[in-house]
Amino acid sequence: MDFSVFKNFHLSEARSLQIRGEFFNLFNTPQFNNPANTVGASNFGTISSAGSPNTLQRISREIQLAAKFTF
């Protein structure tokens, strides 16, 4: 589950500031990788890992904070 929170502050008629927080994988559910697909191997069809911290793909949880000023 992903969750986002946004708050807009109108500074003038043409200017505004937006503060946002975005939470990905909020409840920290595992993101399993694909099963092994080498036919005849002893681990065929098994899932032996979840996520890849080396490439930052499918990591357990991610939180992003940002501020955006429009003029």
Please compute, for residue 33, the number of CA atoms within 13 A of its CA located in the half-sphere on the CB side: 13
Tell me whether residue 26 is in a domain: yes
Show the domain range for 66.
1-31+57-71
Total of domains in the chain: 1
* pLDDT of 32 over the 80 cut: no
- In angstroms, the CA 47 to CA 40 distance is 15
pLDDT for the residue 38? 80
Tell me whether residue 65 is in a domain: yes
Q: Please name which of 24, 37, 61, 31 lies closest in space to residue 49, comparing C-alpha atoms.
A: 31
- The pTM assigned to this predicted structure is 0.54
Tell me whether residue 42 is in a domain: no
pLDDT for the residue 17? 97
User: Which residues make beta-bridge pairs with 18?
Assistant: 8, 68
